Amino acid sequence: MITRDLQAFFAVAATCEAVAPACAKAVFMVSPQGFRLAGQSATDNCYMQMSASVDAASAHAEHRALQTAIRGCLPVISFPGDTDTPDAVFANNVFAVTPERLIIGHMRHPIRQREAVRDDIRRFFTEILGRTLIDLGMQPGICELTGSLIIDRARGIGYCGLSERCDEEGARAMHAAFGLRATLVFDLAEGEYHTNVVLSILAGRAAVIAPCGFRDGRVPEAIAGFYGGGVVRLSPVQKADFAGNCIALNGQDVFLSARAAASLDSRQQAFLGASGFHLHAVPIPTLELAGGSLRCCVGEIY
């Protein structure tokens, strides 16, 4: 089922037992070769800091340190970047991996569409790992995968925020490609480009939500209600600092940028700790100039 109806969605979600693996078994990343701020992306990404100067060496150092930090929890596969694709470091928008499939998104901007046709990444997942290719770039709907669609993998349900980076047709295509039991579709607030800046589901048992990132305030409250006491609500300032762009790499370890972690207050940090999560804060200030943060850099392999 894919719907905008909150009552209908959560009635189905309540029947979906959390039996599937909640977190990935490995991750993949794309290095920031040729990293720079892309003007096309800035047209609908208010988080980009186009006036800033970017030091490529710093971007590489941050990315290597992030890979090292993640390797303490999961295997990491790193693909080289490309000077023609400056946003490629945010690979989770373009490629997604399920136990059966490699899913390729339909990117809005031509500069990001170049990433989707990379033969080496396609061949690695199809020929080496044996996944079936589902190329959503072949259908008309725009859908930037787990940038736009937040998935509770344990239950097989999704939360899809519509914006310039994902339309209703794209949402339907992703719902089918990921094989989800139910997907809730809603509008992001004006100016928001990706859902993963305003919402994260942590290991199927907690939610980090920035209510100001949703067009209709009833949506974040309904999501919060579904996860009961396991909710961290973010302020607009914390959202802008990418606190919502976090990821649980297993049942205990949550990764977020140092900037995002510093924005959380002591009560929020203590709550996550009491919920069984250990926070790993990784400094990526140069990468964040491009309008994404840590979660955007991490592609999951299930």
pLDDT, residue 39, reads: 73
Tokens 């990343």 — which residue?
29
pLDDT, residue 35, reads: 83
d(CA 5, CA 28): 34
Cα separations in angstroms, 252 against 139, 203, 223, 297 = 38, 8, 22, 20
Name the residue among 99, 188, 90, 186 with its Cα closest to residue 145. 90
d(CA 198, CA 210): 5
In order along the chain (302 residues), what is the average pLDDT of each group of 10 residues?
Answer: 98 97 98 80 77 87 98 97 89 97 96 94 98 96 98 98 98 98 98 97 98 98 96 98 98 98 98 97 97 97 98
Cα separations in angstroms, 195 against 20, 131, 191, 198, 207 = 22, 26, 11, 5, 13
CATH number of this structure's domain 2-301: 3.75.10.10
pLDDT, residue 15, reads: 98
* Coil, helix or strand at residue 17: coil
pLDDT, residue 42, reads: 63
pTM of the shown model = 0.96
